[in-house]
Structure 1
Amino acid sequence: MKEASQMQRGLKNRHLQMIALGGAIGTGLFYGSASTISLGGPSVIAAYLICGIVIFLIMRMLGEMAVEEPVSGSFSYYADKYWGPFPGFMLGWNYWFSYVIISMAELTAVGIYVHYWLPDLPQWVTALVCLMAITCLNLVNVRAYGETEFWMSFIKVAAILGMIALGAWLICQDSRPFPQNFSNLWDYGGILPNGIWGFCLAMVTVIFSFGGVELIGITAGEAENPERSLPKAINQIIWRILVFYIGTMVVIMTLWPWNQIGTQNSPFVQIFTNVGFPAAANLLNFVVLAAAISVYNSAIYGNSRIAFGLAEEGNAP
């Protein structure tokens, strides 16, 4: 078994479980789901299910290798070892470059979300403060990253579960001053309102929204007990997908016709404002701010470990 001598196993089981739980929940679900729904209509429920099964199978394969060889280079190291030097080089640097872009996008998003409450504060100031704070936090030790990600993921998970529970309660109400009904899932053009092509386009956005689940494989090199904690975290991914993504889509499109969702802002804000919860805008802004910080935090962590793995393989300085 390969051991990274400079890495410390400081991530506890609870850190890994919450990282796996919140890894796939980001601004893609809170805001990006509007574009997904507009492309595929109610068929996005099936798109999330199909893509979720694919992601689960990929994570099972990654999990098998991560338990056998828990290293920080993760899939870059495995590609280099089992496929060849060039695939390992390409996979590692492609991931690193992609997350540099994502990091900058999330920092921009942090500035926008804070600007919602403090319109006089320049957005670049917020982005710079976030960049310095999270970077310094990651330089302390891996447990500091784990604790931060634990609580950020907790906020995201609690928000999603709360919105699903509130939506389910609204659906079950007898008095209906708003058009919530399961028939909304097929009354406006059927299950495939934009045809197979719209369904396929929606799947592209759906598969992108699952980005972040692979982080659990990168944590293997610093997990205290990867042989026990990794299988548990990975095997529960399919249930998280069913609850968080599919449950959310069913509730949203049952409460409101799919072709009227996300025309102005986040689907969550629009729907809960329409049904009498105007405070949803401030609540969601706080949640997506936490989600953006969480993604940036994970990007700093994941990219540093991928770069470390590339260096060990001789593919980086």
Structure 2
Amino acid sequence: MAHNDANFAAIAQRETGLQRHLSKAQMTMIALGGAIGTGLFLGSGFAIGFAGPSVLLSYTIGALIALLLIACLAEMTVAHPGGGSFGALAEFYIHPLAGFLIRYAYWAANVLVIGTEVTAIALYMQFWFPNSPGWYWIVSFSVILVLVNALSVKVFGTIEYWFSSIKVIAILAFLLLGSYLLLISPKSMDIGFHHYTAHQGFLPKGWAGMWLAVIVALFSFLSIEMIAVAAGEAQNPEQAITGAFRSALFRLVTFYLFSLALILAIVPWNQAGREQSPFVLTMQALHIPGAAGFINFVILIAALSAMNSQLYAATRMLFGLARAGFAPSGLGHLNSQGAPIRALVLSCLGIAVATILSIAYPEKAFLLMMAISMFGAMFTWLMIFVTHYFFRRKQAANSLVELKFRMWGFPWLTGIGAILMFALMITTAFTAEFAMTLATGLPFLCGLAGVYWLWYRKAKI
């Protein structure tokens, strides 16, 4: 084990310089910050439109995949708590090309997901300012969050903690209020579980619609893997990683499934819509004065929090690429606050893309950004499962000591996770809404592989 760790330590050592200021609670909130955002508050409306009430099955499948992924990541990250994230793991256990691809795919995904969050922020602001241009809000909020990320990770962790705390409290309040009204509401309000089957049944779009909504569910759970990215800045990596993984996943599954169950019981699925958050529509349906405006404010905070977390993840991944020699060395520079400022600036590309799309295609900007960003994220999850397989094989071949945290059901559950991810990636090719996922993702991946073999491979020889 010591020899194996020493080899990996040489990879992780390249990313030294980051400050270890993140606590377990902050790491949990960073993961929640990325995952409880647009995917839940706005993306769920698209998922409901695809699947109807069977969206509950879609999110259950998405939660299962996330659970398997978390177990794989926890095992590998606890074995190598020094930093480097899953990009370094793929580089060491599979091949440097794998580390190169997964880092750039994940960076690109986060850069584009930042665009989806900021696009959604523009939509949320239309609630109060219906005639205002979307680009104005995109630029204004982006400047604020870039400044936050330019400060020390301690400041970032504190702000993200409170951002995430606000939305967690608000979701809990939503669950309590919705549950209470569901139990005591008069028949005149037309609230109840009969909505699950009253409008063309539980599977109004068939099994195909349910499966399609799993893609949106995955988009919602994306960023749970961010804990592994933040491991290099954790105060007590081993304890923080395992605790944060478990608590974050439990809260995500609870919030997503319970929230959707309530929404579907209060608002008929065919009225959920895509222009407004289903949460806002639910509050409007309950006729509580000021509730819709309040929940829209919470959703705005959630989107800002998610964008903040994803900007952090994209910046750290590009920093790692630079330190690994896979990007210009200047991107590995840290400012006096210990933040990779140059990597941060370049990671703002998604904001620029979102601004352009919001001007050119104001009604389709969010779905376009989501479809394009999905490839890198799904490829990253697939490669985490593949990396775990190679990780465990190498551990067994070298007769290493017992792992401190072990993924159950290997290799079957690791294989199931990989197969499900691959199947969902293929599914995007047969849907109009996600046609751009593979259409843009595969050429991007091939281009990256070409760059590696033509340029970086020579440097490694």
Q: Structure 2 length as normaliser, TM-score?
A: 0.65
1:35 equivalent in structure 2: 46
User: Which residue matches 2:296?
Assistant: 285
TM-superposed deviation, 1:296: 2.0
Indicate conservation of the 8 Å contact 2:82/2:237, yes or no.
no
Unaligned ranges ≥5, structure 1: none
Cα deviation for residue 264 of structure 1 reads 5.8
Question: In the TM superposition, what whole-angstrom CA distance separates every residue of 1:213-244 from its partner, at most 9, and x where no partner exists?
Answer: 11111110000011111111112344223311
The answer for the alignment partner of 2:244 in structure 1 is 233
Query: How much has 1:272 moved relative to structure 2?
Result: 1.8
One of 209, 213, 235 as aligned partner of 2:220: 209
- State whether structure 2 residue 48 is matched by structure 1 residue 17: no
2:59 alignment counterpart: 48
Residue by residue over 1:235-281, the C-alpha shift from the partner in whole angstroms, topping out at 9 and shown as x without a partner, is 23442233111101111111232223227632122222122124233
The answer to whether the aligner puts 1:87 opposite 2:119 as a matched pair is no
Q: How does 1:82-231 map to 2 (within 5 A)?
A: 82-114=93-125, 116-118=127-129, 123-173=134-184, 175-231=186-242
Partner of 2:306: helix, strand, or coil?
A: helix
Deviation at 1:101, TM superposition (A): 1.9
Q: Give the whole-Å Cα distance in 1 for the aligned partners of 2:16 and 2:276.
A: 48
Write the distance in 2 (CA, Å) between the matches of 1:22 and 1:105. Answer: 15
Q: Which range moves more in the overlay, 189-198 or 108-117? A: 108-117
- Answer with 120-129 or 135-144: which moved more: 120-129
C-alpha distance in structure 2 between counterparts of 1:23 and 1:101, whole Å:
13
Contact 2:35–2:306 (8 Å) recurs in 1: no
Q: Render the CA deviation track for 1:260-306: whole Å, top value 9, x for unaligned.
A: 32276321222221221242331122122212211221122111111
SS at match of 2:35: coil
User: Aligned partner of 2:53: which letter?
Assistant: P
Of stretches 78-87 and 113-122 in structure 1, the one that deviates more from structure 2 is 113-122
2:167 and 2:298 in contact (8 A); partners too: yes
> What's the C-alpha RMSD, in Å, of the aligned pairs?
2.1
Amino acid at match of 1:258: W
Matched to 1:290, the amino acid is: I
Pairwise CA distance, 1:23: 3.2
Of 272, 276, 289, 2:287 maps to: 276
- Mapping for residues 246-257 of structure 1, pairs under 5 Å: 246-257=257-268
SS in 1 for 2:199: coil
Using the size of structure 1 for normalisation, the TM-score is: 0.92
Q: Closer, same or farther in 2 for the Cα pair 1:97/1:52, shift >3 Å?
A: same
Provide Cα deviations, 1:154-175, integer angstroms capped at 9, x if missing partner: 1221121111111100111052
Higher RCO (C-alpha under 8 Å, 6+ residues apart): 1
Partner SS state of residue 150, structure 2: helix
CA contact (8 A) 2:266 2:285 kept: no
Identify unmatched segments of 5+ residues in structure 2.
Answer: 1-8, 329-461
> Quick one: distance in 1 between partners of 2:284 and 2:74?
41
- Partners of 2:274 and 2:21 in 1: how far apart? 45
Q: CA separation of 1:309/1:262 partners in 2, compared to 1, >3 Å: closer, same or farther?
A: same
**2:56, 2:222 → 1: CA distance?**
18
Letter of the 1:309 partner, please give it: G
Check 1:123–1:8 CA distance in 2 against 1; reply closer, same or farther (3 A cut): same
Q: CA 1:51–1:275 in structure 2 vs 1: closer, same or farther (change >3 Å)?
A: same
Count of aligned positions: 317
The answer as to whether partners of 1:138 and 1:300 remain within 8 angstroms in 2 is: yes
Are the counterparts in 1 of residues 224 and 249 from structure 2 also a CA contact under 8 Å?
no
Q: Is the 8 A contact 2:67 2:249 kept in 1?
A: yes
Are the counterparts in 2 of residues 67 and 220 from structure 1 also a CA contact under 8 Å?
A: no
